[in-house]
Structure 1
Amino acid sequence: MEKYTELNKQFINGQWREGKGDSIIDNLNPFDNSVINTFKVANKQDVDEAYDTAKDVSKVWGTNNPLVRRDLMMRTADVLMKREHEVTEWLIKEVASTALKAQVEIKQSYDMLIEASGYPTRMHGFTIPSFTEGKESYVFRKPLGVVSMISPWNFPLYLSMRTIAPAIAVGNAIVIKPASQSPVTGGTIIAKLFEEAGIPAGVINCVVGKSGEIGDYFTGHPGSRLISFTGSTPVGKGIGRIGGEALKKLALELGGNNAFVVLDDADVDRAVESAVFGRFMHQGQICMSTNRILIHDSIYDTFRDKFLDKAKALTYGDPADPKTIIGPLIDNKAVKHVLDLIERSVQAGAKLELGGQAEGNVVQPTILSEVTKDMPIFQEEVFGPAVGLVRFKTDEEAVELANGTEYGLSGALHTRDLQRGIQFAKQIETGMIHINDQSVNDEMNTPFGGEKNSGVGRFGDDFIVDELTTVQWISVQVQPRKYPF
């Protein structure tokens, strides 16, 4: 089986071609900063052509036999697993995925395709009793037509697939703009997978360009009905403003500053195991990552010592090494952000227990203790392998601390009393929270999304079907109606 070619091209109307823009994007390996490939960027004309194509094709794609769309999802899932090794190589070299992280991401993408294969037959309508004599009312569910998706670089394959697969499955065409740091794994290789599976030309389109040149134009383009975006809160707010002015639907999964709460009756060893995974998976570059660990004062020292011992054993370095747990951050800008956050927090009084240094783009696993709510590492999203440990004395104080930021995406808590845990969890202002687990959880049949500045809308199950479709009321006056004049 030959490996994919033309992954550094635009994909519009079933054709792989160079972008019409004047500049280029060098796709860099985060570990050694080597150039993987180079894109000639898309310009506004390319964006127009992608949307025009998608709009034309959607009229047919959205009305075909649902089993056609079901079978496409199944075939694409098979193609993905057939090319698992190739996709893994791309995830490692393009976004510094470790082997473990790549395995998780591919499995999630596969599961998303399988889950989406059931969506074509879940486009349920219904009838409504009419207030008018002799009338029947029907409600039909229909695809939106064209969907826009701006994909992130951290989990580019899966976080793209969780919009792409459902959007296509329910009958939409889609135009993708992947992040400049992950144009292949967040865009072109996905288009290749669907192309190999036999998707009709124009149902999926991918334009790779610089946000400063086509970003706002792509977002506000009248050719789409919905914008799906996963990324930072500041960028998401800008996308929300543009989309709102264009009266588009929005599905925005934004930043997180997720609390991990260890109550006084918790199993400390189990909590430590969970917290290490929740913080250091993919170098902490996950919106759901454990960002703040809140520990009851009575077990704080015990938890800290065991957490440190576990973190010290984590291997870091080259993501291509199967033994590596913590690889590089996406670029040097991200490294500087994390180191600055650590430095400012130490200056504010936090104690550096572990790490705090970088080797190239690899930041050592870093733990700060005696963190308080006014410190930068408490208030800001870290997006790197550093975490703060915070003391609390009562459940009420823990709730206040957990809710003490602008974010509300995910969270976790540990307790032996499950009813106590559920009542505690219900007080946390977050879209998702997990008892006796960690904060990085995403299952395709659950409502995924955040509160406050962590986004709007929900992915997963019937929730994403609702986002990607609309309903139409059609009434039939079966018996002649008597009008007042």
Structure 2
Amino acid sequence: MNERLNEMNYKELASQYINGEWKDGSSDLIIENKNPYNGEIIATYKAASIADLNDAYESAQTVQEKWAKTNPVVQREVFDRAVDYINENHEAIVNIITDEIGGTRLKAEFEIGLVTNLIKEAATFPMRMNGTILPSPIDGKENRVYRVPVGVVGVISPFNFPFFLSMKSVAPALATGNGVVLKPHEHTTITGGTLIAKIFESVGLPKGLLNVITTEISEIGDKFVEHPIPRAISFTGSTKVGKHIGEVAGRNLKEVHLELGGNSALVVLEDADIDLAVSAGVFSRFTHQGQICMSTNRLIVHEDVYDEFVEKYIKTVSGLTCGDPKDPNTIIGPVINERQVKTTVELIEKGIEEGATPLLKGNVKGNVIEPVVFTDVTPDMTIANEEFFAPVVSIMKVANEEEVLNYANQSPYGLSGAIHTRDVERGAELAKRMDTGMIHINDGTINDEPNVAFGGVKNSGIGRLNGEWSLDAFTTTKWISIQHTKRVYPYS
């Protein structure tokens, strides 16, 4: 398994990676990995069983203690080499993202850039596992507080940005001295799982420290979270599943990090640069077919600029090329599967039934959904409250800032947002009143930087990742005190 990615076919990555070995799962279940655009089978694999899961966790636990004691310079070099490996195999990874996820060239380049920046940040973590010496009210005592790995981390990743969203937890967890077991989404087992295993195997990560199991939940149930070995669980995915994982983790006293759904609002105030707002709004909704948790679901536009904005927005969206993600001109490729198409079509029909106007309504061709733009949307409508994981957007008209806040904050989600105004301090003050974990002035809702806290509120999740927040997420602190002088106790 040491050849370059561009010399490898996908079947070689359609397996389990447990204890440093590539093997079939021990379940009888056979899973097909399909190209979402043309339906071609990329590869088939035997799913992992509970026994495989147990082997993976035990492997990570066995190797982790030695890895945690490895010289931090040696640890850092692994991540530096991982960046080099990705750069050397850039084109092959682009092809994997296109074939397995239906990502366009733009999406693939964007995702790879996010991954390399993330790993560069994680490469600093081995040298940041510092401790603190604190004073004591007791004479002769020295207090030492050490930062230590949690032990083993279980990571569950989604299908939309699987290379990045798997690596977002895997790289920091490894870089802080932990072992990892990764379960990618069953539709993106290569990009979100075994590709990552291949990268770290190739750059010298100790065998057994990172394990990847590819399976269906029907095969392992809640065992991934309930297993006694992992001390922390990092999940990225739907709010429904995230709530269940949080509940199971809580019962088993696991630390949990949940990055869940979104229903982000992009606000256009009356003094906004309309052309910029249109550009940001199109990018933030239609990149990767809208299959991004931070995507703009709602455009909240002041009535004074509403007509101008809508006209320019519709004109821009109408020019987006839809179809084959391998075509470099394609902006909107396929959504991940037929189930996602069905869910989207049902929500579109619900929006029309409730009185929204589809000012632009494209066709559905296989798994490709052409853009749909709704106007006359009110906060009580289903399409204003549900997360669209597809190229569908709602435009809402408001008269003042109070309506902006009412419309934006009524959502049960609170992940990202954006405000467009020429008065940036006005925008910043309004942003403070919007109930969301992240918000951007004169920018889009899709932003993720490796050194800045990422995460949401309400139904959008719990916890923060990136930079020092990832360092905190995958470590714990240990207090060791030293009594240098003889202490006098009251019972002597």
CA contact 2:123–2:175 (8 Å) conserved in 1: yes
Q: CA deviation at 1:477?
A: 0.4
Distance between the aligned counterparts of 1:341 and 1:209, measured in 2?
29
Q: CA deviation at 1:56?
A: 0.7
2:81 to 75, 82, 103: 75
TM, length-normalised to structure 1: 0.99
SS at match of 2:154: strand
Amino acid at match of 2:416: S
1:132 to 116, 127, 138: 138
Which piece of structure 1 moves more, 209-218 or 135-144?
209-218
Q: 1:318 maps to what in 2?
A: 324
Q: CA deviation at 1:214?
A: 1.1
Q: Is 1:210 matched up with 2:216?
A: yes
Amino acid at match of 1:206: V
Distance between the aligned counterparts of 1:119 and 1:310, measured in 2?
43
- Per-residue deviation, residues 154-206 of structure 1 (Å, max 9, x unmatched): 00001111111111111001000010010000000110000011111111100
Distance between the aligned counterparts of 1:225 and 1:356, measured in 2?
47
- Per-residue deviation, residues 377-426 of structure 1 (Å, max 9, x unmatched): 10100010000100111101101110011100000010011110000000
Distance between the aligned counterparts of 1:263 and 1:222, measured in 2?
51
Identity %: 47
Is there any run of 5+ residues in structure 2 with no aligned partner, and where? none
Distance between the aligned counterparts of 1:353 and 1:327, measured in 2?
21
2:7 to 3, 17, 25: 3
Amino acid at match of 2:471: V
Amino acid at match of 1:467: A
Which piece of structure 1 moves more, 379-388 or 3-12?
3-12
Distance between the aligned counterparts of 1:8 and 1:157, measured in 2?
15
CA contact 1:4–1:192 (8 Å) conserved in 2: no
Which piece of structure 1 moves more, 207-216 or 317-326?
207-216
Is there any run of 5+ residues in structure 1 with no aligned partner, and where? none
SS at match of 1:371: coil
CA contact 2:14–2:44 (8 Å) conserved in 1: yes
Distance between the aligned counterparts of 2:167 and 2:392, measured in 1?
28
Q: Is 1:171 matched up with 2:182?
A: no
1:65 to 62, 71, 78: 71
Q: 2:338 maps to what in 1?
A: 332
Distance between the aligned counterparts of 1:69 and 1:160, measured in 2?
19
Q: Provide the alpha-carbon RMSD of the alignment.
A: 0.8
Q: Is 1:368 matched up with 2:381?
A: no
Q: 1:117 maps to what in 2?
A: 123
CA contact 2:361–2:371 (8 Å) conserved in 1: yes
Q: Is 1:228 matched up with 2:234?
A: yes
Q: 1:259 maps to what in 2?
A: 265
SS at match of 1:162: helix
Distance between the aligned counterparts of 1:10 and 1:215, measured in 2?
18
Q: Is 1:93 matched up with 2:99?
A: yes
Q: CA deviation at 1:457?
A: 0.7
Amino acid at match of 1:111: N
1:43 to 49, 70, 85: 49
Show the 5 A alignment for 1:418-457: 418-457=424-463
Q: CA deviation at 1:476?
A: 0.4
SS at match of 1:141: strand
Distance between the aligned counterparts of 1:121 and 1:287, measured in 2?
32
SS at match of 1:336: helix
Q: 1:277 maps to what in 2?
A: 283
CA contact 1:54–1:175 (8 Å) conserved in 2: yes
SS at match of 2:45: strand
Q: 2:475 maps to what in 1?
A: 469
CA contact 2:27–2:219 (8 Å) conserved in 1: no
Q: Is 1:288 matched up with 2:294?
A: yes
Q: Is 1:383 matched up with 2:389?
A: yes
- Per-residue deviation, residues 335-357 of structure 1 (Å, max 9, x unmatched): 11111111111111111111242
Distance between the aligned counterparts of 2:276 and 2:215, measured in 1?
45
Q: CA deviation at 1:4?
A: 3.5
Q: 2:197 maps to what in 1?
A: 191
Amino acid at match of 2:320: L
CA contact 2:101–2:188 (8 Å) conserved in 1: yes
Q: 2:252 maps to what in 1?
A: 246
CA contact 1:342–1:356 (8 Å) conserved in 2: no
Distance between the aligned counterparts of 2:134 and 2:398, measured in 1?
53
Q: CA deviation at 1:246?
A: 1.0
Distance between the aligned counterparts of 1:139 and 1:46, measured in 2?
37
Q: CA deviation at 1:69?
A: 1.1
CA contact 1:180–1:210 (8 Å) conserved in 2: yes
Distance between the aligned counterparts of 1:390 and 1:29, measured in 2?
36
SS at match of 1:298: coil
Q: Is 1:478 matched up with 2:484?
A: yes
CA contact 1:54–1:146 (8 Å) conserved in 2: yes
- Per-residue deviation, residues 295-345 of structure 1 (Å, max 9, x unmatched): 001111110000000000000001111110000100011111111111111
Amino acid at match of 1:236: G
Q: 2:400 maps to what in 1?
A: 394
Distance between the aligned counterparts of 1:301 and 1:344, measured in 2?
25
Q: Is 1:182 matched up with 2:188?
A: yes
Distance between the aligned counterparts of 2:167 and 2:186, measured in 1?
17
